[in-house]
Amino acid sequence: MSTHIGAEMLRKAANVIEERQKAYGPPNQNFKTIASLWTPWLVGRYGEVATIHLDEVDVAVMCDLIKTARLAETPDHEDSWVDKAGYAACGRQVSAKEEIGERTEPSLPTATIFHEYGCALFKGGECDCLRRVSK
């Protein structure tokens, strides 16, 4: 086993971050889109108890936690370690509000996602999903 296994893992994570950014845009934009989908899902699933608003940092941390849960079952799975390093780096980037890279196509508008997705969850009566999740 190499004494530089950690450094090699970080190099792999850096490559993955670059590949994902080319495919999905900068983490700031992509994680914001993910958060805008997760928030109404949680409110729709759990109601007013889950009146929360997730942001890009929450997405980075929660994706890291998915990898942590997977490592609890298979602690020697290299890809999960690489992904955790990548989510940590992206989390640091989004927490610093650092924009890196160009987005080739526009990200989904948050208000539209909240409204349309929320309305699908809250059937009947007047739609108030946008007001509840955009506090």
Q: Which residue has the higher pLDDT, 75 or 45?
A: 75
Q: Would the CA dihedral through 101, 35, 90, 63 be positive or negative?
A: negative
Secondary structure letter of residue 28 according to DSSP: H
Note the pLDDT tens digit of each residue in 28-72. 999 999 998 988 888 888 876 666 788 999 999 999 999 999 999
d(CA 73, CA 75) in angstroms, rounded, equals 6
Question: What is the model's pTM?
Answer: 0.68
